Amino acid sequence: MTSTDFDVTIIGAGPSGTVAACLLMQHGLSVCLIERDEFPRFSIGESLLPQSMDYLRQANMLDALLDNADKLGFQFKNGAAFYRSGHHTNFNFEEKFSEGPGTTYQVKRAEFDNLLAEEAIKQGATIRFGQNVTNFTADDSGTCLDVVDLKTQQQSKITARFTLDGSGFGRVLPRLLDLEEPSELSPRKAIFTHFKDNIDCPKFDRNKILITVHPEIPDIWYWLIPFGDSTVSVGVVGETAQIEKPDQSLEQTLLNFIHEDDNLSTLLADAEIIAQVRTIGGYSANVKHLHGDKFALLGNAGEFLDPVFSSGVTIALRSAVQASELVVKQLQGEDVDWQNEYEVPLREGITVFKYFVNSWYDTSLQSVIFFADGQPDVKAMICSILAGYAWDKTNPFVKNTARGLRILEQICEPDNAAQDTAVV
C-alpha cells in the first residue's frame, strides 16, 4: 500500500471528532483533525445528556471534564424540568429505566469543545486549526483531503487510510459529495443568547434544563440552561414564520417572547444580556447515507434533528464510538459492513429521538410529559430516552416508540391518567 500521512483524518475537532480520535489512538492509529475555526469558539448544544458521560469515559476524557467542570463554569445536571401555563413537571435522570450514568453537565460549548480538543492533543492527536477542507478523493491507496490555510491561503494535501467527517453544521463531505437530503422535519429557527441571570427564586433548580412551552402557541418553546457561574443560556424556537420579526432586532424579539411567558418573565426579571444575540435556522438536515468509500459521517455532519431534547451531542458521540470500532477493524484488514454495522444501528436511536421531536411539536408528547407523574414506571422509561438512552432496546419505548407513545397519549389525557399501562 502507498504510504499515507496519517492512518485517519477527521474533519472537525468538535466532540465527535475528538472522541473518535481518542478511541482510534487507543489502538495505536495516527490521527489528524482538520478544524476550520480557531478554538475556543461558540457552538450551540450546551446541555449534555447522561448517556454522553459513558462515551467520554470510553475515550478516557471523562476525568478531564470532571476535573475542570467547576473552573469552567459547567453546571451539574440531573434532569429536565418542563413548564406550560402554570403546570410544572420534573424528570430526574437518576430515576430512569436504563442502566448507565444518571447525571451530566450543562456546558459552555466554547470551553467544553476546547477542553476535549486539548485532551485529544495530550493523548497524541494532531489538530490543525484554521484549515478549510475544499476537496475529498478516495482510491485504492486511501483518502486525500485538499486543505486551505485560512490565514495564509496556503494549499496542501493530507492523505490517510480512512476519513471521518465530524464537521457538524459545516457538513463538509455531504456538500462535497452531494449527499445532502432535505430533512423530514419542518424548518424551524432559534434565537438565543447568554444572560447574567440574577435569578432569586428558591424554587428554581439550577441542576435541570428548563423547557417551557409558549402559553398560546404550543409548538413554540424555550430553553433555559443554567451554568455554574450564575449565567444562563436562553433561546426560543419555532417555525421560521413564527419566530422572524423583520421590524424588530433579534434582542428585542427574544425579550418579547420571554415576556410572553409568566414563569420565564419572572425568573429573568433582573437578567442582563452578556453575549451577542444569535439566530440559527434551517438546522435540521439529513443525508442519503452515512458512509462511502473509505469515509463515514459522524453526528451532525450526517443528521441533525432539533435542539428540543438536546440529543445532538449524544448522537455525535454515539456515532464516534460506533464508527471508530469499525475503522479499527477495517484498517486491520477485516471486512466491515458499514450499512448494517454502522448506519442501521445508529439510525435506530436517531429514529427514536426523531419520533420524540415530531411528537413534541404535534403536542402529543407534551401531553405525556405533563401528565406522566401518576405513571412512575412509564415515566422512568420516558426519562431514559430524555437522558439519551435511545438505543436501549430493553426499554419498550425504544423497542416500539410509535406504538408506545400512541398508547401513552391516550393514557395520559388528564381524565385517563390513572389507567393501567400494562398494554405497553
Q: Is the pLDDT of residue 418 over 60?
A: no
User: Using 50, 70 and 90 to split pLDDT, how confident is the model at 300?
Assistant: confident
Contacts with 175 (C-beta within 8 Å, 6 or more apart), sequence order:
none
Asked if residue 158 and residue 27 are part of one domain, the reply reads: yes
Residue 421 domain-assigned? no
Q: How many CA atoms lie within 13 A of 361 on its CB side?
A: 17
Mean pLDDT (the chain) is: 92
Inform me whether the pLDDT recorded for 412 exceeds 70: no
Question: pLDDT above 70 covers what percent of the chain?
Answer: 95
Parent domain of 340: 6-77+102-181+285-349
Section 359-374 average pLDDT? 86
Question: 90: helix, coil or strand?
Answer: strand
pLDDT digits (tens, 9 = 90+) for 335-360: 999 999 999 999 999 999 989 998 99
Beta bridge partner(s), residue 205: none
* pLDDT tier for residue 424 given thresholds of 50, 70 and 90: very low
On whether the CB atoms of residues 311 and 388 are closer than 8 A, the answer is yes
Cell 455525535 belongs to 316
pLDDT of res. 419? 42
Helix (H), strand (E) at residue 206 = none
Pair (106, 247) in one structural domain = no
Q: What is the per-residue pLDDT across 103-160, written as a single tens digit (0 to 9) for each?
A: 999 999 999 999 999 999 999 999 999 999 999 999 999 999 999 999 999 999 999 9
Domain count, the chain: 3
Question: Looking at residue 231, which CATH number applies to its domain?
Answer: 3.30.9.100
Residue range 203-223, pLDDT digits in tens: 999 999 999 999 999 999 999
Last residue of a domain, one of 281, 309, 336: 281
Residue 270 in any domain: the answer is yes
Contact residues for 255 (Cβ-Cβ < 8 A; gap 6+): none
Q: How confident is the model at residue 305 (pLDDT cuts 50, 70, 90)?
A: confident
**For residue 182, what pLDDT is reported?**
78
Q: Judge whether residue 422 has pLDDT over 90.
A: no
Rg (CA), the chain: 22
Residue 355 lies in a domain: no
Question: Pick from 261, 281, 301: which residue ends a domain?
Answer: 281
Residues 60 and 18 in one domain: yes
Residue 72 sits in the same domain as residue 147:
yes
